């Protein structure tokens, strides 16, 4: 709760600073504010209480999730200075909207009532519509925001319909109330209206996570959105939605599974196949990362399918490993794009020669996303696979590993380009904070791979 307040205040402060034209103060303030919020968020550990008539439920998983979200945002802001360094105006609005989006995301990880979920999602979405289009003169950015907005608002209609049906059958928006309704009807089978509502609600969330066939927006929007914000989208938004979904399931369907499992399993399988296969043919890194993020959504659904006490932790670990690797990849992408003007793989040719740290960062990120031990990505994947196998979803795991095998095909493209192709002689212009940040990400990726127990037993 404190973190929500502090973040909101931070956002407003940022706007004020913008009005006061204090450009240089912006980023330090944001970073400090985010850190403070992170601390506040972490301080809620073991608080375990519900606030405002169950509007918010502060529990450990929520604390962990929201901390991850704030942390990821913090990392992304670390790269903001570099990304926007040629922009003269204060950018307070963009930063403020990012922080407001984060507020929405944090709400999604604490919600105890569908109203809060709805408001959280909408805060996040509206902020993202704006962010996607924030590069106004670029036609791709325009297209991204249009597509995202149209599809997003369309799907939020379904989400609302689903909420309405759930309300109609269970008589409440409160998660615990819904849970008691579900528990009551679990034996005789849930009434169709509730099921319809449930699935429409899930579909609304699946859209945000970019699960096939609701993933179509993702590649286009990711490609069109300004790169820094794409990183935000691919990490914070996705993990927030996955967490929201987990939260919804874990409370309302506590102890009762099976209603949604098969559907999500099939969708996850389709997502993995489509994400990986399509990713294989992409000529540029940004779009490839979009498909990568789609396929990773599919992997995360494995945990959802194999729902158990360890799901939260598996998701947490996976999303952290995924987020740091993806952010690192986007960070390097920002650099290369700045130097070369595009994100085609050809731009990466031979950059390893003169930019060892940057190339190494991207390589580690790619390897982690592929799931090569002993990097964090592997441990994350292992948790998911283990969970799925434990629950008997062997076929799904087979699909997942087939996907992983295919994914080597595209994750290695930048590695091959950077290390093995002819040098194109560019030297990336990197500031010190930026370099420290990417090093930090790399070390974190390796460290989490070697010391996964730091996070594995958390929730």
Partner 1 sequence: MNTLTTIPINHYLIFCSMLFSIGVIGVLIKRNALVILMSVELMINSVNLLLAAFSAYSNDPAGQIFVFFIMVVAAAEVAIGLAIFVLIYKTTHSIDIDVLNKLKW
Partner 2 sequence: MTILIALVPLLPLLGFIILGLGYRGIPKRVAAILGPGTILISFILSLIVLFNFRLSPFAFRFFDWISLGPVSIPFEFLIDSLSILMMLIITGVGFVIHVYSIGYMSHDKGFNRFFAYMNLFIFFMLILVMSANYAVMFIGWEGVGLCSYLLIGFWFKNQQFNNAAKKAFIMNRIGDLGFLLGMFLIFTTFKSFGYQVVFEQAKTMSAGSGTMVAITMLLFIGAVGKSAQIPLYTWLPDAMAGPTPVSALIHAATMVTAGVYMVARSGVLYVLAPVTMEVMGITALATMLMTAAIAIFQNDIKKVLAYSTISQLGYMFLALSVGAFTGAMFHLMTHAFFKALLFLGAGSVIHALEGEQDIRKMGGLKNALPKTYWTFLVGTLAIAGLPPLSGFFSKDEILGNVFGSSLPLWVVAVGVSMMTAFYMFRLLFLTFAGKNRGSDPQSLKIHESPSVMTIPLIILAVLAFFGGFLNIPEIMGGSGMLKEFLAPVFADAVRLNQLQPHHVAARLEWSNMVVVLLLVLLMAYVAYRKTVNRDPGTASRNVLIRLIENKFYVDEVYDYLFVRPALRISDALQKFIEERFIDRIVNGTGTLVVRFSNGIRYLQSGHVGMYLFFMIIGILLILFINIFL
Partner 3 sequence: MFTSYIFYFLSILALYSAVMMLLSKKPIHSVLYLTLTFFAIGGHYILLNAQFLAIVHIIVYAGAIMVLFLFTVMLLNLNKDEQSPKPIWVKASAIIAGVMLGMVLIGVLRGYDLHVMQQPEGSQIGLVKELGIVLYRDYMLPFEVSSILFLTAMVGAVLLGKKEQI
Q: Is 16 helix (H, G, I), strand (E, B) or coil?
A: helix
Helices and strands per DSSP (H, E), number in the chain: 20, 2
- Residue 186 Cβ vs partner 2, minimum distance, rounded to whole Å: 16
- Residue 229 Cβ vs partner 3, minimum distance, rounded to whole Å: 12
CB 360 within 8 A of CB 442: yes
- Residue 245 Cβ vs partner 3, minimum distance, rounded to whole Å: 20
Q: Does 110 participate in binding partner 1 (rule CB under 8 A)? A: no
Rounded Cα–Cα distance for residues 134 and 318 (Å): 30
- Residue 10 Cβ vs partner 3, minimum distance, rounded to whole Å: 11
Nearer to partner 3, 116 or 388 (CB): 116
Residue with structure tokens 């903001």? 80
Q: Does 96 participate in binding partner 3 (rule CB under 8 A)? A: yes
Rounded Cα–Cα distance for residues 324 and 285 (Å): 17
Q: Does 129 participate in binding partner 3 (rule CB under 8 A)? A: yes
State both tokens at 312.
């939260």
**Rounded to whole angstroms, what are the CA distances from 271 to 110, 172, 275?**
27, 33, 6
Q: Is 49 helix (H, G, I), strand (E, B) or coil?
A: strand
Instruction: Name residues contacting partner 1, limited to 170-229 (CB under 8 A).
Output: 171-173, 219-221, 223-224
Q: Does 193 participate in binding partner 3 (rule CB under 8 A)? A: yes
**Rounded to whole angstroms, what are the CA distances from 390 to 243, 387, 397, 454?**
21, 5, 11, 23
Q: Does 406 participate in binding partner 1 (rule CB under 8 A)? A: no
State both tokens at 392.
């008997």
Sign (positive/negative) of CA torsion 22, 23, 28, 34? Answer: positive
- Binding footprint of partner 1, residue count (CB under 8 A): 41
Q: Does 161 participate in binding partner 1 (rule CB under 8 A)? A: yes
Q: Does 202 participate in binding partner 3 (rule CB under 8 A)? A: no
Q: Does 115 participate in binding partner 1 (rule CB under 8 A)? A: yes
Q: Does 40 participate in binding partner 3 (rule CB under 8 A)? A: no
Q: Does 94 participate in binding partner 3 (rule CB under 8 A)? A: yes
Rounded Cα–Cα distance for residues 425 and 420 (Å): 14
Instruction: Name residues contacting partner 1, limited to 253-312 (CB under 8 A).
Output: 281
Binding residue for partner 3, selected from 40, 69, 78, 116, defined by CB under 8 A: 116
- Residue 190 Cβ vs partner 2, minimum distance, rounded to whole Å: 10
- Residue 192 Cβ vs partner 3, minimum distance, rounded to whole Å: 5
Q: Does 146 participate in binding partner 1 (rule CB under 8 A)? A: yes
User: Given the rule CB under 8 A, which residues bind partner 2?
Assistant: 146-147, 150-151, 154-155, 158, 192, 195-196, 199-200, 203, 207, 212-214, 216-217, 219-220, 263, 267, 274, 277-282, 406, 409
Nearer to partner 2, 62 or 162 (CB): 162
State both tokens at 456.
């594995």
State both tokens at 15.
């706007």
Nearer to partner 1, 194 or 318 (CB): 194
E strand or H helix at 58: strand 56-58
Rounded Cα–Cα distance for residues 97 and 84 (Å): 16
Nearest to 389 by CA among 446, 264, 455, 305: 305
Contacting residues toward partner 1, per CB under 8 A: 114-115, 118-119, 122, 126, 129-130, 133, 136-137, 139-140, 142-147, 149-150, 153-154, 156-157, 160-161, 163-165, 167-168, 171-173, 219-221, 223-224, 281
């Amino acid at each position: 709760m404190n973190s929500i307040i502090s973040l909101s205040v931070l956002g407003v402060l940022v706007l004020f600073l913008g009005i006061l034209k204090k450009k240089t103060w912006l980023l330090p303030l944001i970073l400090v504010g985010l850190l403070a919020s992170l601390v506040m968020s972490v301080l809620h550990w073991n608080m375990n209480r519900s606030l405002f008539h169950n509007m918010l439920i502060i529990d450990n998983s929520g604390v962990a999730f929201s901390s991850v979200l704030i942390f990821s945002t913090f990392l992304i802001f670390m790269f903001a200075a570099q990304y926007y360094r040629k922009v003269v105006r204060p950018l307070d609005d963009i930063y403020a909207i990012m922080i407001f989006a984060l507020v929405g995301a944090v709400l999604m990880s604490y919600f105890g009532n569908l109203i809060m979920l709805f408001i959280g999602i909408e805060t996040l979405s509206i902020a993202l519509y704006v962010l996607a289009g924030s590069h106004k003169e670029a036609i791709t950015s325009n297209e991204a925001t249009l597509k995202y907005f149209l599809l997003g608002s369309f799907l939020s209609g379904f989400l609302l319909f689903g909420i309405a049906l759930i309300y109609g059958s269970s008589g409440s928006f409160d998660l615990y109330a819904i849970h008691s309704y579900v528990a009551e009807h679990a034996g005789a089978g849930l009434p169709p209206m509730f099921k319809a509502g449930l699935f429409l609600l899930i579909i609304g969330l699946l859209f945000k996570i970019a699960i096939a066939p609701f993933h179509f927006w993702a590649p286009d929007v990711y490609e069109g959105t300004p790169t820094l914000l794409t990183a935000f989208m691919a990490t914070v938004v996705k993990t927030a939605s996955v967490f929201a979904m987990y939260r919804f399931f874990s409370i309302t369907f506590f102890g009762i599974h099976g209603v949604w499992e098969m559907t999500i399993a099939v969708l996850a399988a389709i997502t993995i196949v489509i994400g990986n296969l399509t990713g294989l043919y992409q000529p540029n890194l940004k779009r490839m990362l979009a498909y990568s993020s789609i396929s990773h959504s599919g992997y995360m659904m494995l945990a959802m399918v194999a729902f158990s006490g360890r799901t939260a932790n598996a998701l947490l670990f996976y999303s952290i490993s995924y987020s740091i690797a993806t952010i690192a990849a986007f960070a390097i992408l920002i650099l290369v794009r700045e130097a070369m003007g595009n994100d085609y793989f050809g731009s990466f040719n031979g950059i390893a020669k003169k930019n060892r740290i940057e190339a190494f960062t991207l390589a580690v990120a790619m390897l982690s996303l592929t799931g090569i031990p002993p990097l964090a990505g592997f441990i994350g994947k292992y948790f998911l696979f283990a969970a799925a196998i434990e629950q008997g979803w062997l076929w799904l795991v087979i699909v997942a590993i087939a996907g992983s095998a295919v994914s080597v095909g595209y994750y290695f493209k930048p590695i091959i380009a950077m290390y093995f192709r002819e040098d194109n002689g560019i030297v990336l212009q990197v500031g010190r904070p930026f370099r420290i940040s990417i090093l930090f990400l790399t070390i974190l990726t390796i460290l989490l791979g070697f010391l996964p127990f730091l996070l594995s037993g958390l929730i």
